[in-house]
Amino acid sequence: MAERPLVAIVDDDKSIRNATSDLLKAAGFTPAAFEDAESFLGWPTRASVACLVADMRMPGMSGLELYEALVAAGHAIPTVIITAHPEELTQSRARAAGIRCYLSKPFAPDELLECVGMALARSIPKS
């Protein structure tokens, strides 16, 4: 049986973390949820994460800042940014940084699953 891809969810809203975890688990992924970027960065299993779903606005480090910190450390993870406060400037900055999926809350479950699928497809080396 194929291993279920590990998807990390970083969001300060517990209800969003739980709902996203449930959705990803039902879709065949292994979710791991964190309330802030610092908790995720301190997680020893972080290197095995196949995709990151991160909220844009959180206390401390934002989702985009988390992605940029991972890239700077040489540990880029395909990332989906979710936000309740969509801003064109932030979306442009995210796309320039390499993030291809930027979803506004509330989003349809299929939208998130499509973004995670695209992120995972980009992370698989082409033969």
Q: What is the pLDDT of residue 32?
A: 98
pLDDT tens digits, 70-112: 999 999 999 999 999 888 988 999 999 989 799 999 999 999 9
Find where tokens 């400037």 sit: 89
Q: What single-letter DSSP state applies at residue 53?
A: E
Cα distance between residue 48 and residue 7, in whole Å:
9
The per-residue pLDDT for range 22-35, each reduced to its tens digit, is 999 999 999 999 99
Cβ-contact 51, 79 below 8 angstroms:
yes
Q: What is the pLDDT of residue 126?
A: 41
- Map out the domains of the chain with their CATH numbers: 6-123 (3.40.50.2300)
Measure Cα distances from 101 to 37, 38, 111 in Å: 18, 22, 10
23-72 pLDDT, tens digit per residue, is: 999 999 999 999 999 999 999 999 999 999 999 999 999 999 999 999 99
The residues that bridge with 54 in the sheet, in sequence order, are 10, 81
